[in-house]
Amino acid sequence: MTLSSFEYSENNWKLSNLSPLHSSCLLVGRNSSGKTRTIHALQNVVSFMQMKQMHLGGSSSFSATMIFSDTNDNLFNMEYRFAVKNGIIDEEILIVNEIKLIERTSDNAKYKSETVYPPEDKLVVQTRRDKLLYPEIEQLMAWAEGIVCISCSDINPFTVIAPSQLINPFSFSDLVDSLDTSAKETVMVNASKLDYHISSIETIKANDNIRLVKIQEQEVSENIFDMQLSSGMLRTLYLLCFMQYIKNTPKTSMLLIDDMSEGLDYYRSTQLGRLVFEESRKYGIQLIASSNDSFLMDVVDIANWQVLRRVGSVVSVINQQTHPDLFRKFKMTGLSNFDFFSSDFIDKYLSREKENV
């Protein structure tokens, strides 16, 4: 099941119809256009559905609408939306293949024609978990439970912000410990492709509470530890280990990556970007990444871009489906992908479009 559309609103900020979403998407936009906040909005919704602690600054009053599709079933369509006010459920709707399964307001709640009585601060989908009796709810909750978020700018040797959160849920040592010999070999092969030549990677116990990652570089006599790595090398190795981890975690449904390729040079940024996008597709994991890194933009097809533009408190989306003529004309210019983002091409096109209305 793939998320194909997402809308979100909280306080004085609104994301207007992020769609259509594909198996892999790159959120791009100028600074303060809403890239990180969009990632956090998705994470906020999923944290609430998983009954986990929300990210720092997450709102307890928000509304969200999500539409799902299934690449293996063209007839499948699911819409789920809910609204929360100060932690209390104000609305909840679940529609599957045009059949309304859940209808809830602040006054009452129904599953099909049956009146149900969930706690006021719990969703119906949280209180009706049964694979046989409520298969559609279980499908939705399995999707939510399979989402992981990585903030590249927040990766550090210990990297866990809080155990109950979705952002960076594993320390670097935990990831390395989770890998078998074959997976570690793959990490080292992929690192070599990125010009990080490593002959071993393992963990050692520093004390009762801390494990360190020990790395041996080729042609370097002394070992180095995770705390000694450059931020670029640490982020790269963390992502390479993480991709091996989720390879053997079939329940992973979506990977959110904020600030992808942050702090990397051209070669490493482009190669890492290609690897993460290709492996996400190979493993059947939907990828939504954000970046304004020019190197990464040039290797991700603009057909997979979601260009975010903010006017006041409202973030809107431009993509190849919403503005096909814009993308077609840009491809004819022969310019690089980054020029599409950094030049005034989009602004001029939208101005002409507005004048012709």
Domain of 115: which CATH number? 3.40.50.300
Are residue 215 and residue 230 in the same domain, yes or no? Answer: yes
Structural domain range at position 212: 162-250
pTM over 0.75: yes
Domain presence at residue 221? yes
Domain presence at residue 227? yes
Are residue 272 and residue 242 in the same domain, yes or no? Answer: no
Domain presence at residue 157? no
Mean pLDDT of 29-34: 89
Mean pLDDT of 16-45: 92
- The number of domains in the chain is 2
Q: Which strands, in side-by-side order, build the sheet including 198-205? A: 198-205, 211-217, 224-225
Angle, CA of 229, 195 and 227, to the nearest 5°: 5
Domain presence at residue 90? yes
Least confident of 34-43, 83-92, 344-353: 344-353
Domain presence at residue 349? no
Are residue 222 and residue 275 in the same domain, yes or no? Answer: no
Provide the CB-side half-sphere exposure for 317 (13 A, CA).
24
Domain presence at residue 134? yes
- Measured distance CA(41)–CA(62) in Å, rounded: 9
Per-residue model confidence as pLDDT tens digits over 262-272: 888 999 999 99
- Measured distance CA(230)–CA(236) in Å, rounded: 10
Say whether pLDDT at 109 is over 60: yes
Partners of residue 81 on adjacent β-strands: 65, 93
- With tokens 């709707």, the residue in question is 93
- Measured distance CA(196)–CA(199) in Å, rounded: 10
Which of 250, 276, 301 is a domain's end point? 250
Instruction: Retrieve residue 177's tokens.
Output: 């410990």
Are residue 8 and residue 128 in the same domain, yes or no? Answer: yes
Domain presence at residue 357? no
Per-residue model confidence as pLDDT tens digits over 186-229: 999 999 999 999 999 999 988 877 889 999 999 888 899 998 99
Reduced to 3 DSSP states, what percent helix, strand and coil does the chain have, rounded to the nearest 5? 35, 30, 35
Domain presence at residue 199? yes
Are residue 259 and residue 246 in the same domain, yes or no? Answer: no
Are residue 137 and residue 180 in the same domain, yes or no? Answer: no
Are residue 139 and residue 241 in the same domain, yes or no? Answer: no
- Measured distance CA(330)–CA(254) in Å, rounded: 30
Which of 234, 250, 266 is a domain's end point? 250
Alpha-carbon distances, residue 192 vs 124, 215, 222, 238, 348 (angstroms): 49, 13, 18, 14, 43
Are residue 14 and residue 117 in the same domain, yes or no? Answer: yes
Cis (ω within 30 of 0) for the bond into 163?
A: no
